A = this chain, B = another copy of it.
Amino acid sequence: MRNEGLGSWPARRARKTPHRTALIHHGTTYTYADLHDRTTRLAHVLRAQGVRRGDRVAYLGPNHPSYLETLFAAGTLGAVFVPLNTRLSTAELAYQIRDSGAKTLLHTGGGDQAKELSVPVTIEAEGGRYEELLATAPADPVDEAVGGDDLCLIMYTSGTTGRPKGAMLTHANLTWNAINVLVDHDLIADEVALVSAPLFHTAGLNMLTLPVLLKGGTCVLVGAFDPEATFDLVRRHGITFMFGVPTMFDLLTRQPAWPTADLSSLRILTCGGAPVPPPLIAAYQERGLTFLQGYGMTEAAPGTLFLDAEHAVSKAGSAGVPHFFSDVQVVGPDLTPVDTGETGEVVVRGPHVMPGYWGLPAETEAAFSDGWFRTGDAARVDADGYVTIVDRFKDMIISGGENIYPAEIEAALLAHPDVAECAVIGVPDEKWGEVPRAIVVPRTGAAPPPESLLASLSGQLAKYKIPKSLILAPELPRTASGKLIKSRLRATYGTAPTLDEQDSSQR
């Protein structure tokens, strides 16, 4: 086949393992032969609707086989897949449709929102009409030449500041990320993955689903993460591989079924988004399970740093070392690596890193220096090369000439049993220029005095890092995908202290 991209994956797997199960969704099973056949037919449907090489095809819906069918069908035609986040508002979705220029939208779940988006072609991608469309479409191969450097998808970054930007990812970018996962995880052909992390985010798609499909394993697609139902899914399908953020894994340990749940089939747990807290590592180790951890970003498709099971405890808190086919450095402003223990910016280079942002040449140029993608994340490297992400550089607080990273303070506060969530921002201070302030959401039922929370940080943090004020709040402002919106936090809590400032001269 002349297709070297993801669009050829169903065909490449179907020639090897046609009868093995590729996908399971709500009790329906799709073999690799099915996936290949349905993908090919969908490509013909899209072509009949006018989709051509380079056109953008959007998809809106929770995890569903038609998500992957659309991704592969678009790839078969050399078209570009644009996955949309179901948690966004109609206005936000409309922006991404407009910005990407998608003229075709596949969606699940009725389509009321799809109608409001006024896309020329909308296709309901589940149920009887979709099946009929596929059944009546031709099944002959689509012979379109697609290369590794052709665009595969545009994925919008969640945009905690300003407009979301569309990260352009090529077929090669996604392929090399899947290869990096194969090198770092011991994936086997019999892998059964539970895909409850949303496929419209980079991690659920690229750290879990695509590597498993590359190996010929099975993906069990679940529309939404349900901690109680998870145990039953693990047992029933013999799940071997799960991916989630720490919150998901933490929720599982808080279920009544946790102590007795049968987890014997699980081999690989991958955790992304944030370092796994040591108590959570311990809870799973008691069950014989060790986390693989990682750090990445949409722009790097996403795997960048990886912490293997062997170092989960000895390097707890670190994001690990670079994936095999990736280069990562922590650099100063002049782009040369900082010394061990010093803080610098994480930059990344490799075949998995995007060529740029869709339609944003100036932002693209600003995002790269000398071929390195600048993550904007501050980090330190230890003597063994293990990278610990400290914080976003732009969230850094400069207080009396000292750099303070909110994430470090947040991690210390989260260790307090009464703290459910927290965030630290900088607020103006006459003497120090800026000082840290904590906003804390207490655990349900807890009402910790702010003073005691701050007192708990003594000895844990240098004096200048301890917040000079602390505000209790019912919740924190977050984006649709759950990321903290620090700008809104600053607007709400940045100027109006509710706790008397402590003597800020005692530092």
Give CA–CA (A105, B15) in the complex, Å.
44
Q: Point out the residue from B4, B18, B186, B324 that lies within 8 Å of A16, measured CB to CB.
A: B324
Residues from chain B with a CB closer than 8 A to the CB of A190 are: 186
Give CA–CA (A324, B385) in the complex, Å.
34
Given known contacts A182-B183, A321-B16, A322-B15, A1 and B327 CB-to-CB distance under 8 angstroms? yes
Check if A308 is an interface residue, CB within 8 A of chain B. yes
Residues from chain B with a CB closer than 8 A to the CB of A324 are: 12-13, 16, 214
Residues from chain B with a CB closer than 8 A to the CB of A182 are: 179, 182-183
Give CA–CA (A189, B324) in the complex, Å.
13
Whether B188 and A186, one on each chain, are in contact in the complex, defined by CB atoms closer than 8 angstroms, is yes
A172 → chain B closest CB, angstroms: 10
- Give chain A interface residues in 200-249, CB to chain B under 8 Å: 214-215
- Give chain A interface residues in 1-17, CB to chain B under 8 Å: 1, 4, 12-13, 15-16
Chain A 38-68 interface mask (CB, 8 Å, partner B; 1/0): 0000000000000000000000000000000
Chain A 320-350 interface mask (CB, 8 Å, partner B; 1/0): 0110110100000000000000000000000
A417 → chain B closest CB, angstroms: 36
Given known contacts A1-B327, A179-B179, A308 and B186 CB-to-CB distance under 8 angstroms? no
Residues from chain B with a CB closer than 8 A to the CB of A189 are: 186
Give CA–CA (A187, B186) in the complex, Å.
7
Residues from chain B with a CB closer than 8 A to the CB of A385 are: 15
Chain A 168-189 interface mask (CB, 8 Å, partner B; 1/0): 0000000000010011101111
Minimum-distance CB pairs A-B, first 4 = A186-B188, A15-B321, A15-B385, A182-B182
Q: Which residues of A pack against B, CB within 8 Å? A: 1, 4, 12-13, 15-16, 18, 179, 182-184, 186-190, 214-215, 308, 321-322, 324-325, 327, 351, 384-385
Given A15-B322, A186-B187, A188-B188, list of 20 further CB < 8 A pairs?
Answer: A1-B327, A4-B351, A12-B324, A12-B325, A15-B321, A15-B385, A16-B184, A16-B308, A16-B321, A16-B324, A18-B384, A179-B179, A182-B182, A182-B183, A183-B214, A186-B186, A186-B188, A186-B189, A186-B190, A214-B324
